[in-house]
Amino acid sequence: MNHQLYIARREKRMKQADVAKLLHINKQTYHLKETGKLEFKISEAKRLARIFGCSLNDLFWEDETNARIRNV
């Protein structure tokens, strides 16, 4: 699961269906992508970064500090 993306979506109080609509994909496809069962296209990833006002790194790559905090 992409925890950073999940957190960003929840902070904006958006449902998966809301984000799916903005990406022009169906809710089931978005769910599979957010849970890591499918990969986002680069165009979708860029659009997500714009939607959530952050970088691709913030959404898709966790730094070592965040990983250690989550594993404690």
Closest by CA position to 6, among listed 33, 28, 26: 33
Q: What is the pTM of this model?
A: 0.80
Q: How many domains does the chain have?
A: 1
Percentage of the chain surpassing pLDDT 90?
75
Banded pLDDT at 2 (limits 50, 70, 90): confident
Residue pointed to by tokens 């070592």: 64
pLDDT for residue 63: 59
Angle at CA of residue 15, ends 9 and 20, nearest 5°: 90
Which CATH number do you get for residue 48? 1.10.260.40
Q: How far apart are CA 15 and CA 61, in angstroms?
A: 22
pLDDT for residue 20: 98
Structural domain range at position 39:
3-71
Banded pLDDT at 31 (limits 50, 70, 90): very high
